[in-house]
Amino acid sequence: MTAWIWAVWAILHKDLTREFRTWERLVAMASFAILTAILFNYALDRTEVDPARIASGLIWMTVLFSGLLGLGRTFHLEEEEDALVGLLLTPIPREALYFGKVAANAVLLGVIGGLLLGVFGLFFGLEVRGNPWALAGVMALGIVGFTAVGTLFSAISAGTTMGESLLPLLVFPLLVPLILFGGRATALVLSGGPAEALGGPVRMLGAFAVLALVTGGLLFRYVVEE
């Protein structure tokens, strides 16, 4: 078990070290997220729509779109000098490689999620009326579920000739529950809705994350081997 955790940590540490040196994925994701928020800001007619009422859905849509930009590159990073072959030759369990990648992607998306809350807060005048920790928890659960699915499908799409362009087609249909329950839970926290109403969507987000992690962990080996 210790070796397994050590391997997950090594993958996570390597991916984050590389990212914080190149800023390759974070800059692309952050630029896209900010530009999208600006466009939403101008696209909405504030005399017809109260931005605060639809902000939660817009935040999650933007997290998913910008997240796919970064997740799509997850395994392309390993193509340089055939590093994925090198990783698969090591004795680490394939699941450790998957969970290391999911963890690194979740950290990057967590940064983007935090940035988006700030940007939407600024443009749309959002106010967190509920518990800010509950908002962080909802975001974290949603991001873990999203990265668990996105990392698995990034490995699948990296092995195809269509590459990154295939990723949204594969992933979006699976993310409908995330948009539904993530959006609902975020709206409840932002509006300061009753805590008991939050339980349902949070449980669904948690179940989605667990199911995605377990499925990803089980299937990853078959995706990357040969």
Cα of 143 vs its chain's centroid, Å: 4
Measured from the CB atom, the residue of 51 and 76 that comes closer to another protein is 76
- Min. distance of Cβ 20 from another protein in angstroms? 10
Output the smallest distance, CB 217 to another protein, in A: 15
Residue with tokens 């963890």: 103
Select 5 or 197, whichever has its Cβ closest to another protein.
Answer: 5
The nearest distance, CB 4 to another protein, in angstroms, is 11
Extract the tokens encoding 21.
Answer: 């040196």
Q: What residues make contact with another protein under the rule CB under 8 A?
A: 3, 6-7, 9-10, 13-14, 17-18, 21-22, 80-83, 85-94, 221, 225-226
| Cβ nearer to another protein, comparing 43 with 89 | 89
Between residues 6 and 172, which has the closer beta carbon with respect to another protein? 6
- In the complex, the smallest distance separating the C-beta of residue 152 from another protein, rounded to whole angstroms, is 18
DSSP 126: -
On the 0-12 / 13-18 / 19+ scale of CB atoms within 10 A, 224 is buried
Q: Give the number of other CB atoms < 10 A from CB of residue 78.
A: 20
CA distances from 132 to 23, 94, 142 (A): 28, 36, 15
The residue (of 12 and 34) whose beta carbon lies closer to another protein is: 12
User: CB of 80: closest distance to another protein in angstroms?
Assistant: 6
Find the helix packing angle between 132-158 and 51-71, rounded to 10°.
Answer: 40
